Structure 1
């Protein structure tokens, strides 16, 4: 029981770390791209971030314990 709770906490911590890293990269890269006039890069990063968010939403449901694994 305790191991299962720790696994969920670890998955949640990893998810938060990845989300923080991706969002930090998006903001910093976006600012630099706009400063240099690379608007196509900003647009492609926005599409990439949106596509990345789809599976991340599913992972957060699993990490939150809303979806149970089948043995």
Structure 2
């Protein structure tokens, strides 16, 4: 088990097992034959995203504006 997709994909490419990954991450490797899809079953899973930034005590207008924009559009509906 890996906590990063790239590590899991590297292991699969090295022949060390299978990886569960987003198709966008493996499309080129599938097309080139470096990886194979092991089942015809696919699933669409809503991803979870976390909006994070460095803690700062000094105001940063541009960062705050970007944060507010993301929070407004990506927050709970």
TM-score (norm 2): 0.30
Larger radius of gyration: 2
Higher helix proportion, which one?
1
Ranked by relative contact order (alpha carbons within 8 Å, sequence separation 6 or more), the top structure is: 1
